[in-house]
Chain A
Amino acid sequence: MLKRIYKLLTSVRLAVVLLALGLILVFLGTIAQVKLGLYQAQSEFFRSWLIYWQPSESSLSIPIFPGGYLVGGLLLINLFAAHLRYYRPGFKRIGIAMIHLGVVLLLGGQFATDMLSTESFMRIREGSSSNYSESNSLWELALIDTSDAEEDKVVAIPTSLLSGGKELSNPELPFKVQPVKFYLNSTLSAKNEGEGYELVKAENTELTEIWWRRLPKVTQMNFRDIPSSLIKLIGPEGDSRTILVSGHFSRPQTITVDGKELQFEVRPTRYYKSFSLHLIDFRFDRYAGTNTPKNFSSRVRLARTDNNEDREVTIRMNEPLRYSGETFFQADWDKTDEKGTVLQVVDNPGWLTPYFACVLVSLGMIWQFMSHLIGFATKREKA
């Protein structure tokens, strides 16, 4: 049995099948983007072990095709195992080893990127500063203790945890959080708008009616889900209160627990930095006499208190700021008055791996080609 598995894992046939499956997967994933949008297609086809099919009007999910993780993972194992089975050290085979290592690095690097990279956006108005960026797809329930004069203490609960319905607790919270109902995408209204709307029964909606409705998950790239949830806060004595939290509320609300005030809000997941960026000027240059964009740029002051760093940087299209392991790209601007900028912040610890991988594969191929060429030329000369 073990021998069979070993043979299978090290077979070239498996490599060919996996590569073929990879090709089909890329094709299917690309086509699916039309219907699902980029992020959903990425998630379902490439960042998954299996691709599921759900028959209409059924909650059953049937796996129908291997996902990106399965194909990539098996390919990784196959490469390792086959290499160690067939590879025999030798001067002439260094090229093969480099090619294999390059491909392994490419696959491993992509895994690392998937696992570790984050993409977020930093929005700054002219004359103001920001020390955090926000996710475009992830949300968190932030419970903020503002009692300290200098700092706020934040307990951030990813909203994905609210969807599980499991009771949540943290030593920093004076209560447990029991999700009662969670809508990944939702709408709120001051009146009953019709089918699907339910009256919210929560402490913070007692005084004015709020109706809510579950919305289907959005898949278009330019749209995002806005979650809402009913949560029960359970005190140590078992006393409880139910409140509505929602990404639709654009400012924090306040709750008093044991005489202590806590602010709470559902907001895009924040990534705080050890430095701040102050927007001095945002420029949107256009070609004269037209509305055609010519250049976007943000002149920012980067300030860091722990090492007294304070310098001006201009971020332009194709000229991002690389700092502290993150890259800040000029991504957008405040369209109301063009006095604000939006920087895309990419934190990808594995960003160098594709470069190393390509260099390794290239060098391996050159080595392999040259060793054969030299061998052939030597034989010919002898003959």
Chain B
Amino acid sequence: MRLNFQGTEVRSILIACTGLLLVACSAGAAEKIKVYRVPKEPVTPTVSEIHSDAGDDHAGHDHSGHDHGPPAQPKVTFTKPEGWLEGGRDEMRVVSFSITGPNGQTAQVTVTPLPGLAGRESLIVNMWRQQFGLSELTEDAAAKELIAVEIGGAPGKMFDIAGKSADGSAIRIVTAMKHVGEMSWFYKLQGDNELVVAQITNFVEFLKSVRIEAAILPDGDPSVAGGTMLGTVTSQPPPAVREGGPTWTAPSSWKEIAGGQFLYAKFIISGEGESEAVVNVSTSAGDGGGLSANVNRWLGQLGQAPWSKDEILNKVKEVATTGGHAMIVEMSGTDVRTGGSTSIVGAIVNNSGSTWFYKLMGDSDLVAAQKEAFTTFLIEVNY
């Protein structure tokens, strides 16, 4: 065949190549910055706020990845015992671990929410017993199998069943459960009998550390300016143990709540009506950025312009506390999130190479009413 490159063939090739080139260019096109306007979001929490990533390390554990599917699984935080290897999730299990014993024995830990099982403990015990071919227990007898255990700072129940697997080896299942609304949360340690027995202490500690909740921002001081979300108190109980650091007796009207991993302590104070204030306690090595930077940061949280060094020195008061001199500063403005009149009483204490930050922030009237209690609290903190 004689080729005529002036003809349609050349045009067709050029068209095809150009088309492909366009596709290639669009495939390689980089993502671009977008600018758009959206109506303000309502304050109502959405599932997305749960941020089911489970990827943060609030309790100090290390994730090798972050779940996104199922996208709306609740966020579970915990302290992972040594030697437990975190496994994957699936539709049923929101957390799982595998444990290997010194002689190659294996055990698994799973956390599974199931609906509609609250108040049906005897059924649950008997379901597990059936797995081992054990006889069914009466409701009273099943209730006697249950022992109290702390799960995430709240009471739960636990039972223990030992038996033989299909291949005749000794296995054991330790199951803990806690009912939250319509959901029952099951924590199961199962595997080789010897290994399970050895891991029960770790399992109980793990149960104590578990928190099921919306993800918590490192709120309060760590944000560039602000981040304290008034009115978004979680139902998480206060941290039970604080190792090291100062101790105190807080005023009875202050309710301690979990402050997230970045706060040493957090208290919420309820005033008249819906007025609220919070007290954040945080710490940093060294001087924590210095007086000026921190005072101006607090000012930024109230939408106020920064103060000069002279202004700051004029407005800061020194108060003697048990841990050394505290520099206290007061400021007022508007919290952009609430739109309400908001005040801050902030205090900075340098103690043994660390800097401690205390911040009372909230409704201006309530802050004014709590200022004296805050100062007394500050003075009496034991380092």
* Residues on A facing B (Cβ under 8 Å): 2-3, 6, 9-10, 47, 49, 69, 73, 76-77, 80-81, 83-85, 111, 114-115, 121, 123-125, 127-132, 134, 136-137, 140, 146, 149-158, 160-161, 168, 170, 172, 185, 187-191, 193, 203-210, 213, 215-216, 218, 220-226, 241, 243, 247-251, 253-256, 259, 261, 272, 284, 291, 331-338, 340-342
Contact = CB atoms under 8 A, between A and B. Distances in A.
A190 B68 contact: no
Interface in B69-109: 69-74, 88-90, 94
A172 B55 contact: no
Given A81-B13, A114-B27, A157-B33, A127 B44 contact: yes
B284 A206 contact: yes
B90 to A, nearest CB: 7
Closest 8 CB pairs of A and B: A223-B65, A218-B65, A250-B215, A123-B47, A84-B12, A158-B31, A80-B16, A206-B289
Given A84-B9, A161-B30, A185-B66, 4 more contacts: A158-B31, A204-B224, A251-B219, A254-B225
Given A187-B63, A255-B225, A222 B90 contact: yes
Contacts of A137: 68
B288 A206 contact: yes
B229 A251 contact: yes
Contacts of A84: 8-9, 12
B48 to A, nearest CB: 4
A168 B33 contact: yes
B347 to A, nearest CB: 13
Given A114-B27, A161-B30, A224-B53, A129 B20 contact: no
Nearest to A206: B289
A189 B57 contact: yes
Interface string B24-68: 101100111111111111101111111101011110101111111
B20 A220 contact: no
B10 to A, nearest CB: 8
A137 B67 CA distance: 11
B182 interface: yes
A187 B64 CA distance: 8
Contact of A209 (B46, B115, B216, B285): B285
A206 B289 CA distance: 6
Contacts of B212: 336
B352 to A, nearest CB: 16
B20 A73 contact: yes
A15 B20 CA distance: 17
Q: Tell which of B20, B285, B300 has the most Cβ of chain A within 10 Å.
A: B20
A223 B303 CA distance: 39
Nearest to B286: A206
Contacts of A140: 34
Name which of B8, B73, B183 has the most chain A CB atoms within 10 A of its CB: B73
| Listed residue (B9, B71, B261, B294) with the most chain A CB atoms within 10 angstroms of its CB | B71
Interface string B6-25: 00110011011101100110
**What is the interface of chain A mostly: helix, strand, loop, or mixed?**
mixed
Nearest to B232: A251
Nearest to A123: B47
Contacts of B62: 187, 189, 193, 213
Contacts of B42: 128-129
B293 A155 contact: no
Contact of B23 (A73, A124, A128, A156): A73
Given A154-B37, A156-B34, A157-B33, A250 B66 contact: no
A115 B67 CA distance: 26
B114 interface: yes
A187 B55 contact: yes
A80 B9 CA distance: 10
A269 B207 CA distance: 35
A220 B87 CA distance: 11
19 contacts: A73-B23, A128-B44, A150-B40, A156-B34, A188-B56, A204-B223, A204-B224, A208-B221, A210-B218, A210-B222, A210-B262, A222-B68, A223-B66, A224-B68, A226-B66, A248-B57, A251-B227, A291-B115, A337-B182
Which size class do B's interface residues fall under?
35 or more
A140 to B, nearest CB: 8
B125 interface: no
Choose among A10, A73, A128, A208 the residue with the greatest number of B CB atoms under 10 Å from its CB: A208
Contacts of B72: 123, 332-335, 340, 342
B152 interface: no
A342 B70 contact: yes
A335 B182 CA distance: 11
A254 B262 contact: no
A256 B9 CA distance: 63
Contacts of B293: 206
B283 interface: yes
Nearest to A3: B3
A250 B36 contact: no
A222 B37 contact: no
A206 B31 CA distance: 32
A301 to B, nearest CB: 15
A161 to B, nearest CB: 6
Given A114-B27, A218-B66, A259-B305, A272 B223 contact: no
Interface string B283-299: 11100110001100000
A146 B19 CA distance: 43
A87 B332 CA distance: 82
Interface in B336-382: 336, 357
Given A256-B225, A335-B113, A152 B40 contact: yes
A34 B153 CA distance: 40
A10 B34 CA distance: 43
A336 B26 contact: no
Contacts of B24: 49, 69, 73
A311 B305 CA distance: 48
Contact of A335 (B20, B27, B70, B216): B70
A80 B221 CA distance: 63
Contacts of A146: 40, 336
Given A207-B284, A254-B301, A261 B225 contact: yes
A191 B33 CA distance: 34
A336 B113 contact: yes
A132 B40 CA distance: 12
A223 B67 contact: yes
B181 interface: yes
